[in-house]
Structures are given as C-alpha cells and as structure tokens.
Amino acid sequence: MAPYLVDSLAVAFFALEWLVYAVTLEHTAYGRDSLSARMNAYREIWVRRMLDREARMVDMQIMASLQNGTAFFASTSLLAVGGGLALLRATDDALNILKKLPIDISPAPALWEIKCLGLILIFVYAFFKFAWAYRLFNYVAILFGAMPPSGKRDAPEAEAHVIRTSRLFEAAGRHFNRGQRAFFFALGYLGWFVSPWVLFVTTGAVVIVTWRRQFASNAWRAMGS
C-alpha cells in the first residue's frame, strides 16, 4: 500500500463522518427529533412565558450562566490551541519519546506536524464557534431586556419580538453545539497520533457516543415525555 494512503483514508473518513453527522443533525427531518431540536422548542416556550411576568431577574440570571459556560469553553479552546502549538514546537522531543515505546509508533516528522496542525485547526474552529455563540447570547440578553411588558403580551409587536428572540436564541445554541461537537471529534482525532487504524475506530466511537446522546439517551427520552 502506498505510503500515507491509509492516513489519507483515515482523515477523509474522519472529516466525512463529522460532516455527515452535522448535516444529519441540523438539516434533515431525522435531526428534528434530536435532543437539541427538542430543547429549541423549550427556548421558545421560555421566551413566550417571559411575556407573562414583569419581574425577569431570574431569566437574566439564567442567561448569565449560559454566557459564563460559553466563555469557559472559548477560553478552554484557546488553551488547547496553545497546547497544540507547544506540541508542534516539540516535534523532535515527542518523536524521541515515541521511539522509546515498546511498539514504535513514531511517524515521519512532517506527518507529525500535519497531525498537530490538524488538531490546532479543530480547536481554532471550536474557539470561533464558542466566541460567536457568546456574542449571540449577549444579543439574546439585550432582546430579553427589550421584551415588551406583560400588559402588551397580546400585541403584534410582542409576537414579533418573541419570534425574533427565539430564532436568535436557537442560533446561539446551534453554534455552541457546533463548538462542543468539535471538542468531541478532537478526542477522536487524537487516535491518529497512535495509528490511522485507531483513527477509524475512535472516529466511529465518537459518532456513536454523540448520536446516542442526541437520539437515545435518558435526557432525550425525558424531553419527549
């Protein structure tokens, strides 16, 4: 088999699985029954129920907790990028350590650097998703503050504001989910540092675990009851 052919196939399989899973979850009828989709329905319910109460401090506190969680993941993404850059700079040291293992799994230096760059790109993508989700949550908080008073809940303006806020809220959650998905697939990507064959296995494992959480977990069943 040609050199690096298995590596190329493994990376192509990894990228294809990520793409197919994301498209299935976000753009198909099957994905509309996912845990994330069910939660989107409750986002709109939450926004609509805000119209029934004048005091909305609790709503803003919940929104603040969502923003803090998103900020944590964005910061973690930057730390992961830094770790990947450090790993890239320490190519020679890393390869020397791998050569001393009972089973030599050390790749060529160029391939090792490609692996590190791929991992860095995944975390850069995750950072942009979390950072944009954080910005969108800020916008949602502003729309919460602009929510019409309960006395005008039956006005056309109130309905338009609910729909506007709900859609922006869903977009924030969608980008946050994409960032988390990048984290999950980054764990599968680590299998390539061992072997391209391991990457096949770890990619499949990540897809199975993430699929189960979205379509067969206790949380999914609870949200469907």
Packing angle, helices 196-215 and 156-189, rounded to 10: 150
pLDDT one-digit tens code per residue, 59-78: 888 889 989 999 999 999 99
CB within 8 A of 143, min separation 6: which ones? Answer: 161, 164, 165, 168
pTM of the model: 0.90
| Dmax (CA) of the chain | 73
- Average pLDDT for 80-95: 85
- What pLDDT digit, counting tens, does each position of 93-150 carry? 777 776 666 666 667 888 888 999 999 999 999 999 999 999 999 999 999 888 888 8
Tokens representing 118 are: 């791929």
Please state, in angstroms and rounded to a whole number, the distance separating the CA atoms of residues 224 and 216: 11
- Token pair of 134 as six digits: 């954080």
Residue for token digits 């391939």?
111
